[in-house]
Amino acid sequence: MQTIMIIDDEPVVREGLEVLIDWHGLDCQIIATADNGAAGLQDILRLKPDIVLTDIKMPYLSGLEMAAEVKKTHPEIEFVLLSGYSEFSYAQEAIKIGTFSYLLKPVEELEIIETIEKLVMKIKQRKEVQVTVETYQTMDKRYLLKELIINQKMANSLEPLLKQAPFALIQLPTLETNVEGYRAYLSERGGQGEVLEFSHGSNGYLFLTQVTKPEIDLADDWFWENELEDGVVIISQIRNHTAKLYEDIQANEQKQFLFKERVLTSERLGIAKKGASKESLSAIQQRLLEELTAATHVEEEWHMASLSHYFQRKQYSETQTKVELSKFTLSLFQELEERLNDPLADEHKETILEDIMKSQSLVALLRLLKHEFSRLHQVYLTDVDNQNIVQKMIHYTSKNYGADLNLQFLATTFNYNSSYLGKKFTAEVGVSYSKYLDQIRIREAKNLLKKSNLMIYEVAEKVGYNNIDYFHKKFKTLTQVSPNEYRKKQNQEVCS
């Protein structure tokens, strides 16, 4: 519907034009009236109507002067001038400033209707052309932007856009995402640049100009809040040129497998790489193995978190991650088989390895391993449960002699009375538990003194003695020599 303003200093004329013409039937709507040229000019510039019907001779500002002033900044606004004077000079001036029609008063109703109908048709045609041109311009801009970002083909027509550095690129699972919602969200929070979208392959992309760190954080927030169920959003790092934006996205896309986040940023990946524990894969495996074969609870969540951090720090590809975890699991199986003295079925191993290779994410893969390790722990516990309580104590001590062990701790662990446990242990083993523990610790200390270059206090700590003097006393009691003397003697035997 086209908008109309009527400006005339005669109330009868204004009201007559409003009432006599079926404006709605002409697809028009009167949005304002004014009784002089000065007031009319202000309303026109504020409301920007499509058509203005105005008298020529009015107080303060004539219709011709008002139309000429409006046409300087809004040439698209159409004017129909009404006058009671038939001088040709008025018509000439009206044509010169670009008014559509010049009608003499008194104006016939039919004449006004015909004039407005022609104007409405002209305006609609112009708007249709304008929409078509804008559509093609937008499509062209998107195509050129895609060529620039994806294929690194410079486009001269994008030169004004490329002056709006720095830039960022966001990869969406699909352009069906509410791009307008994100654009409005960003604008409401002070975003200054443009947000242009284009598609490539099955993904959608948003190209951001004049982007800053806070705006990237806002993007992160928005995509998290609008829970995307169909994939991961990847945000490139901010750059002052477009050359590496798509490379950033592609590199980060390879790391989707490692992260459970719905939004991946270059910064988040960098933090994961720098901030994770530096624990090696073999150390994680050894720690997990010791717990699996101990008669206590296994901290699966902790071990799975350690594995997750390890691979996020390494940022391996999906295939490399699966290969490394397959080798990790097979090695663990082998160690368990040796300790259980009972080989696991080959079919079961093959099933686990197949499931590893089929996993869609590191989270799913670790969930699979957590379940398997929990099952293996139960298998081992069942094997241990077939032994009596003293055998359980001996087994636990052999795995945990470096910890702060005592009879009371074991009684709590195995849910026994400590006095009963102490008497039963002494009866079956022939020495008290504390003496047995010292024997195990000193035996391991001798191995460390013989095979390592650890300092004496380090050996003491590793086998469970935090007091170096107490360690010396116990060592000499059981071996008749001091730790230093024992090490020298062993070295001499090797050299002779």
**Which residue type does 186 have?**
L
pLDDT of residue 135: 47
Do 417 and 369 have their domain in common? Answer: no
Tell me phi and psi for residue 177, to 5 degrees. -55, 150
Q: What is the dihedral of CA 468, 472, 477, 483, to 10 degrees?
A: 130
Show which of 274, 289, 315 is a domain's final residue: 274
Neighbours of 281 (CB within 10 A): 17
275, two tokens: 């901030």
263 and 295 assigned to the same domain: no
Residue 156 domain flag: no
Q: How confident is the model at residue 65 (pLDDT cuts 50, 70, 90)?
A: confident
Same domain, 9 and 116: yes
The predicted structure's pLDDT at residue 451: 84
> Is 66 a member of any domain?
yes
Average pLDDT over residues 106-135: 78
pLDDT over 90, % of the chain: 15
**DSSP sequence for 438-471:** HHHHHHHHHHHHHH----HHHHHHHTT---HHHH
Contacts of 431 (CB under 8 A, 6+ apart): 439
Residue 143, domain member (yes or no): no
CATH number, position 104: 3.40.50.2300
Which of 358, 385, 412 terminates a domain? The answer is 385
Tell me, rounded to whole angstroms, the distance of Cα 140 from its chain centroid.
Answer: 30
Both 378 and 441 in one domain: the answer is no
Q: What is the pLDDT of residue 136?
A: 44
Whether 413 and 372 have beta carbons less than 8 Å apart is answered as no
- The CATH code of the domain that includes 262 is 3.30.70.1710
369-395 average pLDDT score: 69
* pLDDT: which is higher, 134 or 148: 148
Residues 89 and 188 in one domain: no
Per-residue pLDDT tens over the stretch 210-267 = 777 776 777 777 776 665 555 677 777 777 676 777 777 777 777 777 776 666 666 6
Minimum mean pLDDT among 36-40, 255-259, 275-279: which range?
A: 275-279
Mean pLDDT across the stretch 133-159?
Answer: 61
Better-predicted residue by pLDDT, 227 or 120: 120
Mean pLDDT (the chain, rounded): 78
Q: What's the pLDDT score for residue 168?
A: 77
Domain limits for position 93: 2-126
Residue 496: pLDDT band with limits 50, 70, 90: low
Q: Find the range with the poorest average confidence among 17-26, 87-96, 181-190.
A: 87-96
Residues 367, 469, single domain; the answer is no
- Structural domain includes residue 131: no
Q: Are residues 234 and 255 in the same domain?
A: yes
Q: Are residues 268 and 285 in the same domain?
A: no
The residue-averaged pLDDT of 13-18 equals 88
pLDDT at 23: 92
Q: Are residues 298 and 336 in the same domain?
A: yes
Residue 386 pLDDT: 45
Q: Is residue 152 part of a domain?
A: no
- Are 263 and 296 found together in one domain? no
In a domain, 149, yes or no: no
Task: Band the pLDDT of 33: cuts 50, 70, 90.
Answer: very high
Residues 269, 295: one domain? no
Q: Are residues 398 and 282 in the same domain?
A: no
Domain presence at residue 399: yes
Taking residue 218's Cβ as centre, other Cβ atoms within 10 Å add up to 19
Q: In the predicted model, is pLDDT for residue 379 greater than 80?
A: no
Across 388-393, average pLDDT: 79
Sheet with 2-7, edge to edge strand ranges: 28-34, 2-7, 51-55, 78-83, 101-104
Q: What is the pLDDT of residues 187-206, one digit of tens each?
A: 776 667 777 777 676 677 77
pLDDT in tens, 403-412: 888 888 888 8
Tell which wins on pLDDT, 24 or 169.
24
We report the CATH number of the domain holding residue 458 as 1.10.10.60
How many distinct structural domains can be found in the chain?
A: 4
Q: Would you state the pLDDT for residue 210? A: 74
Last residue within a domain, chosen from 362, 385, 408: 385
Q: What local confidence, expressed as pLDDT, does residue 68 receive?
A: 87
* pLDDT at 381 (0 to 100): 58
